[in-house]
Structure 1
Amino acid sequence: MRRFYTVMTAVALTVATVFSGVSTVQAGGYHEYDVEKYVMNQLSAASVPGVSVSIVSDQKEIYSATFGVDGKTQSDYVLGNLTQSMTALGVLSLAEDGEIKLEDDITTYLPKYSALKGVTIEKLLHQTTGIKKETMLDQVKAEGKEGIYQNAYVNYSILGELIESVSGETYEEYLTENILDACGMTSTYSLRQNPEMQEEMSPAYKNYFGYPVAAKYQYNASDQWATVSSGYMISDVKDMGKYLQMYLKEGGDVVNPEDIAGVLQNTVPVINKSKEDSLYGTEEAYGMGWMATQYKGTDLYYQSGVLENQMTMMALIPDKKIGFVMLFNGGDYLVGKQLMEKICVGVTDILLGEKAANIPSNSYLLQHGLIDLLLLIILVGCSLPIFMTGIWRKRAAAGFHAARLVKDIFIQIVLPTAVLVVVQKEIFPWKLLYRIVPDVVIVAVIAIALLYIGGLLKLLRSVAMVVRYKLDPEGFHASLTVQDGEEVQAGELMELVLDTSDKSEETEAEVEAAVAQTQQEAASQTSEATETPEATETSDVSQTSESEQK
């Protein structure tokens, strides 16, 4: 009986391992099962649909598993910024073969980018060209300060074109022949080169107001913001493990050790980002597709990327001859990104023998709930002017003048227009924002539309009031009840409106005083009218006596 239970337990564990997508290789000193337990416990707290993990040493794969929606370690993910180190190795390979020099001006090889005259290949590799992060490839120019690191996809898009121009091959062909095949990376490709591989990709999820919505990546050949060489190579977690092993072997038989050292250690400081904003909370430097830092006394190299519906991260710990990669199939930029980064930091802690911090179970729901509440308040606030137009019309007729209308037009039409323009020109193009935070853009568009509608309604009602009075002063309402309960002729008020609209120098206080005076005159007219019958009666009596005398 004991043997029976032993056999059944073994079978159950085997089945569970198969269906969970877990495959492990024992390696003393590495806490691979601690990693598994930690990641599984954090997924629900971070509301992550799924993640693939691989841990490798310089000699072998230590651990490989997939959790969540996707159950295969062979499922493919878009790599995002992880692509850039591959592009850097391709450029260094050309330099090693004597095809290019890193000190060369990029316009020597790609004259169509004349706006980048003076920008060297090395500056593109270090992303110190002055190109802003929102720059499009067809509008490229160095608007920022050269020598300062700023992540911009365009830098590595241009380097991809450089590889194609110099080698005479496509970017994918050159990378495969010189790096991928030598690493044994048979599942790394692009949809530009292999569109039939669309079905092999992991199910990915965009986030709308805290809810994941399935949205597979579709290659867009006309994309001018990011291209294959800057962020859209595709791979699986096992291939990326092989890629990290090549680094841990200092290039092995694939890449010159000097190139590996150059990619990792030839760095520029990252001075436009505080330590608190970095993934590990440390000071960072940027190499060529890699971030370099010191974490808990250990040299660490990493790179992470966030796309429309995925997040990726890889790291090297050379002192321990270990590296790991995590590929997430969710792309929540507002909340999920920070929580997924915390999971990556937690895995790093475990591999360093430290205790990993847990994500609070209600963290995701609480943060997204607050964001959703704020977005709702914005929508309600922007819709109020539409529902209050009736109240506004009454107040306008009682004390309206041009200055108040100008103020309303400024708040509801001019300011929203300024927001549209400033965000588009100075912060990030709306089209790109929609790719990253679609829910926020949807709310922003609706809110601005509501403000426009409210402002236009006020403007049209004001014009209609003036035109109506001009055409028929006598018929423009008999009277209007004002706040103190007395009645004032609407025609007199409209004359006041038209008069003050032509006198822009009059203040609102003066107009209100004029309205009050008009009300007093109307009141005095009413009191005089009550005295008229007595005067009339006296006049009649005098007329009668005069006639009798005659």
Structure 2
Amino acid sequence: AGLEPTGEDLAARLDAYLSANFPQVGMPGAAVAVVDADGVRYLATLGDCPGADAPFVVGSLSKSFTAVAVMQLVEQGTVDLDAPAARYAQGYDVPDEVTVRSLLNQTSGFGSRDSLSEAADGRLGDTFGSFSYANANYDLLGRVVEGASGDPYARYLDEHVLGPLGMTASTADPVRAETLGMAPGHRDWFGLHLADGFRHAQGDDAWGGPASGYVASSVQDMAGYLRMYLNGGAADGGGRVLSADSVRRMFLDRVPDPEGDTYYGMGWTSFNWDDGELVLSHDGQVENYVASMCLLPERGIGVVVLADANDNAGGNSRFFDLVSGVVTAAVGGVPAPVDAQWTALWRQRTDVLYACAVLVCAAPLLLVRRWPRRLASA
């Protein structure tokens, strides 16, 4: 710590890395920022990104915004972390054992693929008490925020989190997001990234909502958001969004992931590098965007990278490799190049499987057309 490149040195390193490796990711556009407590160390937009103030859907990075909102209500004495979530989210059939804290730390037992309406079935899930990632946890927390504050989730976030942080190009309201000049979201169609106008479904029956995965934010705004954490909950103008103690609790009130060496708590995954340094991060993937953010509290550095496409046939893996390279460069290391070769083979195999599936589905239709001719000639 303390030996990280800054100024022209950092800009030269990252410009060179991104120039060589962003084309290997294969996504249409991206935005990158490296920040410290005092400001922005580096910011760049790539490809078809309209600018630093263009919002992207940030996927599960949204969960930390919801955690901030909950911790504000905890500070006010409006919410008790160890109270049943149903006390605040009335109308949802959730056992009293499911507390606000268990939702924040993803130990409620909700199923990973459950919508909120499916999760709130009155029963404790099999994974209750241990970490099991589920969007429904944070969708219900969005209802907790609404019940405790009396405001719709998007309005609460605007007035108490985004507004105080000066995040004018950010919102949890999908209708308003469209008016802010969004970076165009792309879905993958057989290796082609197409901006097909996809819109995620709304409501409790949808798998994921604004509180768990559909906040929209620009790279410029996300830079300010990460600085808030590095400044112990204070906004750039000096106003306080959270107390320093609440920020510390967001970092360290966590539970282990039984399937790895990481922890999860309050919208952040955390782990330690080999030298013991604490790292906090979160990735996000929705239908037509990917995102990743990282905090290194001991160094006072934050990194965020956003992209305007989703490609589960290898492109997302390349994106996260690029993010790792940006973080490595930001701390003064030598980043590994993005390897596109293995994902190209993955893409070829995926396309062959899709083509086979189409042929299997189409074959009966082709045979149906031949049978009348055979019967007529019999």
- What TM-score do you get using the length of structure 1 for normalisation? 0.61
Q: Does 1:220 align with 2:198?
A: no
Q: Does 1:70 align with 2:70?
A: no
**1 CA distance for matches of 2:49 and 2:245?**
38
1:323 is matched with which residue? 302
Q: How does 1:355-366 map to 2 (within 5 A)?
A: 355-366=334-345
Q: 1:378 to 1:248 in 2, by over 3 A?
A: same
1:35 is matched with which residue? 14
1:268 is matched with which residue? 255
Q: 1:132 to 1:211 in 2, by over 3 A?
A: same
- Percent identity reads 27
Q: 1:29 to 1:49 in 2, by over 3 A?
A: closer
2:263 is matched with which residue? 285
- What TM-score do you get using the length of structure 2 for normalisation? 0.87
**2 CA distance for matches of 1:30 and 1:319?**
21
Quick check: 2:230–2:301 contact (8 Å CA) kept in 1?
A: yes
What SS does structure 1 have at the residue aligned with 2:309?
coil
Q: 1:118: Cα distance to partner? A: 1.7
Amino acid at match of 2:151: E
Q: 1:136 to 1:452 in 2, by over 3 A?
A: farther
CA RMSD of aligned residues (A): 2.6
Amino acid at match of 1:240: M
1:174 is matched with which residue? 156
Amino acid at match of 1:130: G
Q: Does 1:110 align with 2:89?
A: yes
2:374 is matched with which residue? none
**2 CA distance for matches of 1:304 and 1:373?**
29
Q: How does 1:264-413 map to 2 (within 5 A)?
A: 264-272=251-259, 274=260, 283-297=261-275, 298-377=277-356, 382=360
Quick check: 1:215–1:309 contact (8 Å CA) kept in 2?
A: no
Q: 1:28: Cα distance to partner? A: 4.8
Q: Does 1:164 align with 2:146?
A: yes
Q: More strand by proportion, 1 or 2?
A: 2
Q: 1:112: Cα distance to partner? A: 2.0
Quick check: 1:83–1:232 contact (8 Å CA) kept in 2?
A: yes
**1 CA distance for matches of 2:293 and 2:339?**
24
2:118 is matched with which residue? 139
Amino acid at match of 1:342: D
**1 CA distance for matches of 2:256 and 2:365?**
45
Amino acid at match of 2:321: K
**1 CA distance for matches of 2:365 and 2:272?**
51
1:508 is matched with which residue? none
**2 CA distance for matches of 1:195 and 1:72?**
15
**2 CA distance for matches of 1:43 and 1:206?**
18
Quick check: 2:34–2:330 contact (8 Å CA) kept in 1?
A: no
Quick check: 2:271–2:278 contact (8 Å CA) kept in 1?
A: yes
**2 CA distance for matches of 1:65 and 1:366?**
30
Quick check: 2:108–2:129 contact (8 Å CA) kept in 1?
A: yes
Q: 1:336: Cα distance to partner? A: 0.7
1:89 is matched with which residue? 68
Q: 1:128: Cα distance to partner? A: 0.7
**2 CA distance for matches of 1:224 and 1:119?**
21
Quick check: 1:105–1:121 contact (8 Å CA) kept in 2?
A: yes
How many pairs were matched up? 359
Q: More helix by proportion, 1 or 2?
A: 1
In structure 2, the gaps of 5 or more residues are 235-239, 372-377
In structure 1, the gaps of 5 or more residues are 1-25, 275-282, 383-445, 461-476, 478-550
Q: 1:62: Cα distance to partner? A: 1.0
Q: 1:179: Cα distance to partner? A: 2.1
**1 CA distance for matches of 2:154 and 2:347?**
39
Amino acid at match of 1:40: S
Amino acid at match of 1:235: S
Quick check: 1:58–1:322 contact (8 Å CA) kept in 2?
A: yes
Q: 1:219 to 1:361 in 2, by over 3 A?
A: closer
**1 CA distance for matches of 2:142 and 2:272?**
30
Q: 1:180 to 1:358 in 2, by over 3 A?
A: same
**2 CA distance for matches of 1:303 and 1:71?**
24
Q: 1:90: Cα distance to partner? A: 0.7
1:490-514 CA-partner distances (Å, limit 9, x unpaired): xxxxxxxxxxxxxxxxxxxxxxxxx
Amino acid at match of 1:292: S
Amino acid at match of 1:224: A
The higher-RCO structure (CA 8 Å, 6+ apart) is 2
Amino acid at match of 1:165: G
Quick check: 2:86–2:95 contact (8 Å CA) kept in 1?
A: yes
Amino acid at match of 1:168: G
Quick check: 2:84–2:99 contact (8 Å CA) kept in 1?
A: yes
2:233 is matched with which residue? 251
Amino acid at match of 1:158: L
What SS does structure 1 have at the residue aligned with 2:280?
strand
Quick check: 1:52–1:67 contact (8 Å CA) kept in 2?
A: yes
Q: 1:236 to 1:450 in 2, by over 3 A?
A: same
Quick check: 2:162–2:171 contact (8 Å CA) kept in 1?
A: no
**2 CA distance for matches of 1:352 and 1:27?**
10
**1 CA distance for matches of 2:56 and 2:49?**
11
**2 CA distance for matches of 1:90 and 1:361?**
39
1:57 is matched with which residue? 36
Quick check: 2:135–2:212 contact (8 Å CA) kept in 1?
A: yes
